[in-house]
Chains A and B, each alone.
Chain A
Amino acid sequence: MSVLAKPNSKVVLLGNEAIARGALEAGVGVVAAYPGTPSSEVPITFSHIAKKTGTYFEYSSNEKVAFETAAGAAWSGVRSLTAMKHFGLNVAADSVGPVAYLGVKAGMVVVVADDPNGWSSAQSEQDTRYYARMFKMPELEPSNPQEALDFTKQAFKLSEEFHIPVFLRTTTKVSHSIGTVKVGRIKKPIRKGKFVKDLAHYYNIRPHLQEMHREIDAKLAGIARKYGGKFTKEGKGTGKVGIITSGVSYEYVRESLKTLGLKPPVLKLGMTHPMPRKEIEEFIKGKRAVLVVEELEPIIENYVTQAAKGTNPKLAIHGKDLLPSYGEYTMALVLPAIGKLFKKKTPDFKAHSRKEAKAIAGLPPRKPVFCPGCPHRSTFYAVKQVFGKDTIWAGDIGCYVLGIFEPFEMQDFIVSMGASLGISHGISRTSNQEVVAFVGDSTFFHAGMPGLANLKFNNGKSPFIVVLDNRITAMTGHQPHPGSGFTGMGTPVEEVSIEKIAKAMGANVLVANSFSQKDLVEKVKELKGKDGLRVLISRGECRLLARRQAREKGIEFPTFEIDQDKCKKCGICTNEFACPAIVEIRHKRGEEPKYWINPDNCWGCSVCSQVCPYGAIHVAVKK
């Protein structure tokens, strides 16, 4: 594996792999995380290598628990890291603030990956840099995989020196970008430590609380003094118009300047909290104008505006007037903004876009779909048969968000992990409409349990709850959860039972086989007729994973085929069940279609043969 490459070698690493390598070079002892893309490959890397490197790694049940695990390790003197996506920080937040105040003994790094453009997240484009300010934590922002490695290493040092946890903030195009990285030496991890009781220090009740607040402000001032310059890079350019940037935006600025043949002064910030005030003030002194290039919120821009009041009140500050505060930046956005500032001609990207629109008009879209053989497709299909399409479908976070698309359209809203239960409770309390709440197995352990307890506690008309139990956290790449039966390091453990938890919370519970329409429909009907809290667990292994594991053992799943004599061309298998393995072949509108199962894509779940009303689908005869 490249992530374990020999010292001083140059290898291509994903940004997230480079973070893992940086942590290894810092001798990280404990890594804990709940998977969340675009941060997922940090823990994935550790799950592959932890045994080899002697690191302790775990998938925790949610980001808050993962953060706390890392904090406990750091308090015991063991260097620790946790990684999460931006929304994960919302979950962990309750503990992040207090731990920042209390500080740490060994270095602790909190990797948070933002996702402008929402490549791997719906919901919002939240900017983690506000959290760094709210929790008064230092924040480093690498621009590329090499810096991802270097900054992670330095983050441990900074954290230990100032006894404060440190954010390493990335965005999708840092975490999921690849790049040539020169690696250093991996340090043998220290995994054992000792928690030293020190109530005078851990006493975070007033009046000591105010003392701690004063201390953390002093720490930040010290960090700005000592490290402000170290993480700030100033180019050799000249002129009265400069550029201030950070993160991946720096890469776009660099390439734009090369493309346009410009060499203005550029200030690149590697630490965006605390801000390097001295360096910024020196940079803007005597300038006529600056352009701030930063994705999402105008945090640096606002800071520069404030700094300029004292240093250079006449400075023209550009940023969000030339570039958007939403979405993700690209060369096609940054190049014209710089071109405009320096009066240089840039390609007509808008004309290109118009030409593109014409070229792709009327092509069938390829939205993400449930994989062939996905247990969720089967469950959604059966639940819809029983409840009808007018039911309110409460959505949640997992592969099943794909149920938002046609033909299912069974995720009426998607809010956050576990929110299907809380929101559907609110709807059930106020409306007579029937509500079905979908929640995944991993999501159930992550944030679903409090919602379920609340439904029992505030006893009333309850939504119908469907737990989509595919035995794994599938969407982020098949990470185990408390119900999976093995840990992040692959150690077998006793499964935590969803049905026992639901029963203990007073629910009527039935478990159905996701791959049997008959079983699903019968049990949904039976449970639907009951009063009180109703939980249907639809259990069926993620087919993508099951198939992969079977193939590793040399086992091939059977494939199915359509008997053309029996097929009445009703289209249920493609238009209502929508398995990507089943193809309606037709190159012209109005042409008589032919239905065909592509054996390369069929993963043998058999459910299409159950939904075909004419019995036209059966196991393919091996030729």
Chain B
Amino acid sequence: MKFSAFFIGVGGEGVLTSAALVAKAAQKEGHFVRGVQLHGLAQRGGSIPTEVRWGDVSSPGIMQGDADLVMAFEPLEAARAVHYASKEKTSFVIDDHEYMPVYANLLDVPYPPMPEIVRRVKPFAKRIMVFNTTKLAKKEFGTPVLGDTMMLGAAVGAKLLPLRPKSFREVIREDAPRMVSKNVKAFDEGVKLGKRKLTSGL
């Protein structure tokens, strides 16, 4: 067994924290974990790719086209993750919250609307699920940051991230930098969202 999850979003969005939670949850379930966390230049508002793998794996990075799951915390970045994705095996979970890059203005390249992003990603996806977790988190908890935790929950609830909710609750309690109970709650809300999406078949 091996599983490869690719996380992508914008610096400052909490991509690193989310990926770290997944790595720890996988470790909690006794898996052998590998992955890549880039730091440095990439932290300042650029796109942040992070990789977490577990099972019978050696390479820290995911092979081109070989991700089982892409967690895109920003729609435009979902399109950039196609390098790691393929029609045969990759599921995409996308937060629809746009983070406009300054280069859209500067270089006069308009930000593509969501349907266009889905169209571009489709040839590389077995399945695409779009959530509005950032917006929901802002509404329910008053902070967009918890949208990431909620999206992890959604991926678990939709059975696209094969780890147990209980493991996440434990690592959040042990490890979340702040707002522990809110994080757990956001995760559980996400699980419900994911389950609903799965049963509704959308």
Contact = CB atoms under 8 A, between A and B. Distances in A.
Interface of A: 10-12, 14, 37-38, 40-41, 119-121, 144, 172-173, 176-180, 248, 251-252, 254-255, 258, 330-332, 335, 347, 349, 352-353, 355-356, 359-360, 362-371, 399, 401-402, 406-407, 475-477, 571, 574-575, 578-580, 583-589, 591, 593, 598, 600-601
B27 interface: yes
B37 A574 contact: no
A363 B109 contact: yes
Contact of A255 (B40, B57, B113): B57
Interface string B24-50: 101100011111111111111111000
B27 A335 contact: no
B80 A360 contact: yes
Interface residues of B, number: 65
A331 B61 CA distance: 8
Contact of A365 (B24, B34, B103): B103
A600 B144 CA distance: 8
B39 A584 contact: no
A45 B10 CA distance: 24
Interface in B94-123: 99-113, 120-121, 123
B181 interface: no
A429 B135 CA distance: 57
B36 A252 contact: no
B140 interface: no
A363 B78 CA distance: 11
A41 B62 CA distance: 23
B154 interface: no
Given A12-B23, A331-B59, A364 B103 contact: yes
A178 B58 contact: no
Given A180-B33, A352-B64, A38 B108 contact: no
A37 B40 contact: yes
Best-buried of A363, A583, A601 by chain B (most CB within 10 Å):
A363
B63 interface: yes
Contacts of A120: 38-42
A570 to B, nearest CB: 12
Contacts, number: 211
B31 to A, nearest CB: 8
A365 B82 contact: no
A355 B85 CA distance: 11
A177 B34 contact: yes
Nearest to B34: A179
Nearest to A250: B58
B39 A477 contact: yes
Contacts of B46: 366-369
B52 interface: yes
B11 interface: yes
Given A178-B36, A251-B58, A364 B110 contact: yes
B186 interface: no
B123 A355 contact: yes
A83 B48 CA distance: 25
A545 to B, nearest CB: 12
Nearest to A253: B58
Contacts of B100: 580, 583-585, 598
B109 A578 contact: no
